[in-house]
């Protein structure tokens, strides 16, 4: 059973996805935010492949006892570093229906610190 919040976010998400698509040249940076963790992946939508991924759950550099914003910033930096290793410089940012503040903004700032441009 979906709550009003989730339905609203899915509606916003579908509106965003109509306009944003990832290509081989400029892939899409997608964000998912759960209550505990934050996940980000860079996707080529033409092939349907995830090129690079990072999360607060799997990366050992992320301190889970720190505030969630700090963890999101670290995940963004890790994702940016992985992307530059893979030869990805430019991405299009898909906030996934979330407002662009807090953890989502921190992840985006970390990705910019890591070397991504969007």
pLDDT single digits (tens) 11-37:
999 999 999 999 999 999 999 999 999
pLDDT tops 80 at residue 94: yes
What's the pTM? 0.92
Q: Which two structure tokens, joined as six digits, stand for 59? A: 């990366």
103 — pLDDT class (breaks 50, 70, 90): very high
Angle, helices 68-85/103-113, rounded to nearest 10 degrees: 30
3-state secondary structure of 54: strand
Could you tell me what percent of the chain has a pLDDT over 70?
100
The order of strands in the sheet holding 92-94 is 49-55, 38-44, 28-33, 92-94
pLDDT confidence of 1, banded at 50, 70, 90?
confident
Cα-trace Rg, the chain: 14
The pLDDT assigned to 62 comes to 83
């Amino acid at each position: 059973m979906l709550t009003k919040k989730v339905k609203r976010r899915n509606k916003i998400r579908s509106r965003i996805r109509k306009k944003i698509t990832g290509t081989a040249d400029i892939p899409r940076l997608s964000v998912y935010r759960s209550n505990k963790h934050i996940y980000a992946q860079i996707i080529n939508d033409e092939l349907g492949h995830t090129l690079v991924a990072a999360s607060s759950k799997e990366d050992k550099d992320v301190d889970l006892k720190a505030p969630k914003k700090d963890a999101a910033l670290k995940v963004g930096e890790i994702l940016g570093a992985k992307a530059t290793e893979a030869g990805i410089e430019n991405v299009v940012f898909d906030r996934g229906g979330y407002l662009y503040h807090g953890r989502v903004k921190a992840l985006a700032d970390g990705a910019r610190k890591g070397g991504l441009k969007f």
